A = this chain, B = another copy of it.
Amino acid sequence: MPYTLLRENIDKHIQFSDAEFETYSSFFYPKTISKKEYLLRQGDICRFEGFVTKGCFRVYTIDNDGNENVLYFAVEDWWVTDIDSFTNQAPALLSIQSLEDSEVLLINKKDKEQLYQQMPKVEKLFRIMTQKTLVSLQRRLIRNHCYTADERYLHFIKTYPKIAQKLTNLQIAAYLGISHEFVSKIRKKIASKK
């Protein structure tokens, strides 16, 4: 089942034969993560790229003032890693923690390099996936500039209703870059409009 998800993930971006997928998937190994466990801690070196097959993660960083800042939440079919740390084997700026019992498929650095070498098509796959991620991040940056907090909140729960359900106000606030009290106030405002 986890590998079925991995297959479906690829099919969204590129065509792989069964044999190609076989090779590709053989580089990944499953890992079970219990609730609140860390896949990666800020400061450590990120040894993996992970594909989420079950559960939910928050990918975040703590700034100098101790504020938590969520870069994104990852559920089934999302990838989790600190690319910078993984690529350069340098200390991570990001932490990755599960919000519930979860499962991932992991690939480590050496195997990733070997996979690139053995299957050049994987370069294309990750080039395409990274591009798509970049586009959505560009759009989010723009939204952050031109939307109000209310609009950003609404956009988030509309775009990711399933993820939003799993989250506390605190977590949503850390993603939107606002205070959790203000999330409360936004909710109240919305409720009273209906």
Residue in contact with A69 in the complex, picked from B120, B135, B142, CB distance below 8 Å: B142
Q: A127-B130, A131-B87 are in contact. Are A138 and B69 (CB under 8 A)?
A: no
Instruction: Report the stretch among A24-32, A60-68, A99-107, A155-163 that lies at the interface.
Output: A60-68
- B residues less than 8 Å from A124 (CB atoms): 116, 120, 123, 127
- A-side interface residues, number (CB < 8 Å): 32
Q: Is A170 an interface residue (CB 8 A)?
A: no
* A102 CB to nearest chain B CB (Å): 22
* Bound CA–CA A63/B151 (angstroms): 14
Neighbour of A144 across the interface among B93, B126, B135, B144, CB < 8 A: B144
Can you name the residue of chain B whose Cβ is closest to the Cβ of A136? B84
